[in-house]
Structure 1
């Protein structure tokens, strides 16, 4: 049986390293996208402090559509290029927004969100699977260590889906 670690950490980097190991264990024997996305969302949401939303938007060939997540109900569809998620999908670059009010095209699905990090999910063949989106009710919640940690976590998630 898989169990969330309740350890305390000396650093954020150490916390992410442990989360990466937990994600590997959680997703190791499953290849289903929805099952892994649901468990991955729960793992991150319940392991990192100061989050109010963590989940997936999956690319349907035309736009991003909400997938498995933890948090309040979310916007269902996001056009490529719109908001932080759409920007990550269009540019295929991690978007780290310390203050969403300063992001000109931010889409406020939850008014409590103050900062956001979005990681584009690219398949090995170069096609877009979607984005991993994490919001916080705290301004400047995310930094470069979060960028590195979220990228490492998403690499584990993508590897779990196979080739």
Structure 2
């Protein structure tokens, strides 16, 4: 099996600093939601270690609909308030789950996932979607991940023209 070497620093703070700088550079001057989220998922997938899925679910009428992602096949529709993604959306706050098997109502799209973090995306004070990241490791995510991913979500929220998504109205 071929191994790839990460170009990202081992230090978590340095890695996130580089990732945020790259995110800003990739999004600079581009406002289309889908390509921005596609590039964001690729950047996150390349930077974050020990993850098996990273992507977005976007508000579409009265549910969350699968958006750009990196990883295995995923659930397409998630009801508000259901699973980790629907819970983060409904609460409007980050949900960090150290063991998905202990989360009531967890939606198992990939049986290899053991921990998860979901960060809401905001535009003009409204939740427009969520960033979802899964890991095959228990307790993969911590408060630093939460804080840094919330900053990345702010960058995305401010960089995209969310009005182009018809389901948001």
The normalised TM-score by structure 1 is 0.92
In structure 2, runs of 5+ residues without a counterpart are 1-5, 163-169
The 3 A distance-change label for structure 1 pair 7 and 58 is: closer
Distance 1:27 1:122 in 2: 16
- Partner of 1:129, secondary structure, is strand
Partner of 1:114: 114
Aligned pairs for 1:1-163 within 5 A = 6-9=7-10, 11-124=11-124, 126-161=125-160
Deviations 1:72-125 (A, max 9, x none): 01000000000000000000010000100110110000000000000011211x
In structure 1, runs of 5+ residues without a counterpart are none
**How large is the Cα RMSD of the aligned pairs?**
1.3
- Partner of 2:137, secondary structure, is coil
CA-CA distance at 1:14 after TM superposition: 1.6
Aligned residue pair count: 157
Distance 2:50 2:112 in 1: 11
